Amino acid sequence: MLKLFFIFFRISALTLGGGYAMVPVMMKSLSSSNLLEKDQFEKILVLAQSLPGPIAFNLAWLSGKQINGVKGAIVSSIAVLTPPFFGIVLISSILKQYSDNPYVSGFIKGAYASLIGMIAGLLIQIIKGTKFKFYNILVIVLAIIAIFFYSDFTILIFFLSILFFYLTNKGYDKND
């Protein structure tokens, strides 16, 4: 349990950029510690994304529960929440005093850039294990273009795209 606490505490304390920046770090840490296999983590990730609330908390709760039951879920959740709580209090007081400093603003811009890279890396890793049909990709591209030109109809375009995917993928086996 202590190992589980320190894994989530360390990830939460040292990962900049929020919940989605933590996802690849969590996956690597849990799989390299032999607590979860990558495919188990990916299933937990899918469930965590469907639940309301912050992704880091959802992942900590669900991963901890998978590893050590409810006690593991509680320990992991406390571990992932503790660093941001104290960090926000400390950083907000410091940033107020030094927000005009070019080094501080440069650091913040660099942190945002690294976050984009981490999220892109996670997206690529998830896409690698997914089979796509050509016309599904075509519909996604066309939907994005349509939303760009017809932004008033975003919800309609979104639901029509989902309907298309549902109708064309009925009976589609991912193992084909």
pLDDT digits (tens, 9 = 90+) for 29-57: 999 999 999 889 999 999 998 888 889 99
Higher model confidence: residue 158 or residue 3?
3
Domain boundary among 98, 118, 150: 98
Q: Please, what sign has the CA dihedral across residues 79, 83, 88, 89?
A: positive
Domain boundary among 47, 76, 98: 98
- What is the tens place of the pLDDT at every residue in 94-127? 877 887 888 888 887 888 788 778 777 776 776 6
pLDDT band at 81 (very low <50, low <70, confident <90, very high): very high
Structural domains counted in the chain: 2
Mean pLDDT of the chain: 84
pLDDT at 176: 45
- Domain that includes residue 136, residue range: 131-175
pLDDT at 95: 76
92 and 15 in one domain?
Answer: yes
pLDDT at 126: 67
Phi, psi of 156 (to 5 degrees): -60, -45
Buried-exposed string 27-39: b where 16+ CB fall within 10 A, e elsewhere = bebbeeeebbeee
Domain boundary among 98, 119, 151: 98
pLDDT at 170: 62
Phi, psi of 129 (to 5 degrees): -90, 5
Q: At what angle do helices 38-50 and 55-98 cross, to 10 degrees?
A: 70
Is the per-residue pLDDT at 92 higher than 60?
A: yes
Of 81, 39, 73, 86, residue with least CA distance to 56: 81
Q: Is residue 159 part of a domain?
A: yes
158 and 94 in one domain?
Answer: no
